[in-house]
Chains A and B, each alone.
Chain A
Amino acid sequence: MLRGCGRGAAAVLRGAAGSRGASGQERGPEPGRPLEPSLLRFLVCPLSKRPLRYEESTNELINEELGIAYPIIDGIPNMIPEAARTTRKRPPAEGSEQP
């Protein structure tokens, strides 16, 4: 029983650490896991099938046209449209910088 609780606690801590990493922040021991460069050859937006731009500062793959950004978590790009973030808070002409 106690062992299970301990493991549960460890899992929660690990989960919390993982979600912190997901925001693209650099953690102490590990560099903010960048994308495997060879993957960029293959990856496109799953919705429009158009090329993506890798944004190093936020560690995201950006589709300029649709104004959406796919996060890269632990070096694994999350290419599920539901998970993507819209980048457009300002008119498209100004680019897709984060507000």
Chain B
Amino acid sequence: MAPACKRRLSGKALANGSVGVIYQVFENVAEKYDVMNDSMSLGIHRVWKDILVHKMNPSPGTLLVDVAGGTGDIAFRFLNYVRSVRERQLQQKLRHHQNLSWQEISKSYQEEKSNPLGDSQVVVCDINKEMLKAGKQKAQHLGYSEGLSWVLGNAEELPFDDDKFDVYTIAFGIRNVTRIDLALQEAYRVLKPGGRFLCLEFSHVSNPLLSRLYDLYSFQVIPVLGEVIAGDWKSYQYLVESIRRFPPQEELKAMIEDAGFLKVDYQNLNSGIVAIHSGFKL
């Protein structure tokens, strides 16, 4: 994917934020997505995503759907997490059984080898072909294959059956959805009863000083980084504006509750630059 393939976007079209325009933004940024994330957030986005998966605390056997999960950041962390939990489980099992025969010990090691994820599965769903392609390549590169699948789909109209997943995540994706209410309804639909909704997204900084610094950084530094690293000022200006337009913590919480989720709560990270919203289908 050469820069020649990128299309020039008009500022007005971007401001309107139509679906096609958003698609094009991500088509343009897909190739450099991870690099830009590291540069813009100074690598902190990795910590945010780690916190999300730790908060999820998935046990082996969990079925996760990661929506708008394009390049697979959450999916890979999920797989790493359940793998290490599974390893620990098997080790605990060995430790608690005294007087094991050699046959039983080798059987346990075989178990670990044959089912290292403990039947955990993640489906990555994204509306953008380029993002999924980039994610799939990254997975191959990093050696992820087991328990991972990719689907091209629309968050507002998910191609999944009802009551299917244990956890639904959407990390830095929901602000790009046109009808957030529809996406939340779909999230509710595909989750099993008892399932958990987790949303990691840029949010509202209430501290006025920090808010000013954040604005300065967002509008002065990020588009410049976009131009220097990805050759695309406008897309990154769009991203910054979409963050400003997105509803703040309490408003998003209300929207999640409207979709039917219970025990909805949020956790601010970095004073509200980012927030994790959580809800349950009960």
Interface, chain A (partner B; CB < 8 A): 4-5, 7-8, 10-11, 36, 38-39, 42-47, 49, 51, 70, 73-81, 83
Contact = CB atoms under 8 A, between A and B. Distances in A.
A39 B4 contact: no
Interface string B92-127: 000000000000000000000000000001010001
A73 B129 CA distance: 10
B90 interface: no
Interface string B125-164: 0010100110010000000000001111110011111101
A43 B121 contact: no
A79 B151 contact: yes
A44 B159 contact: yes
Given A73-B129, A79-B151, 20 more contacts: A5-B4, A7-B3, A36-B149, A38-B121, A42-B65, A42-B123, A42-B160, A43-B151, A44-B160, A46-B157, A46-B158, A49-B162, A74-B133, A75-B150, A76-B133, A77-B151, A77-B152, A79-B153, A79-B159, A80-B152
Nearest to A49: B161
Consensus secondary structure, chain B interface: mixed
Contacts of B132: 76
A7 B159 contact: no
7 contacts: A11-B2, A44-B161, A46-B159, A70-B159, A77-B159, A79-B153, A80-B127
B127 A7 contact: no
Contacts of B209: none
A47 B3 CA distance: 35
Nearest to A15: B5
Q: Top 8 A-B pairs ranked by shortest CB distance? A: A79-B159, A7-B2, A8-B4, A46-B159, A79-B153, A8-B2, A78-B152, A46-B157
Contacts of A5: 4
B228 interface: no
A46 B154 contact: yes
Given A46-B157, A79-B153, A11 B123 contact: no
Nearest to A37: B149
A76 B150 contact: yes
B213 interface: no
A76 B159 contact: no
B47 interface: no
A52 B149 CA distance: 17
Contacts of B42: none
B161 A7 contact: no
Contacts of B2: 4, 7-8, 10-11
A37 B20 CA distance: 31
B4 A76 contact: no
A42 B168 CA distance: 14
A90 B160 CA distance: 28
A49 B152 CA distance: 16
B157 A81 contact: yes
Nearest to B63: A42
A11 B1 contact: yes
A80 B4 contact: no
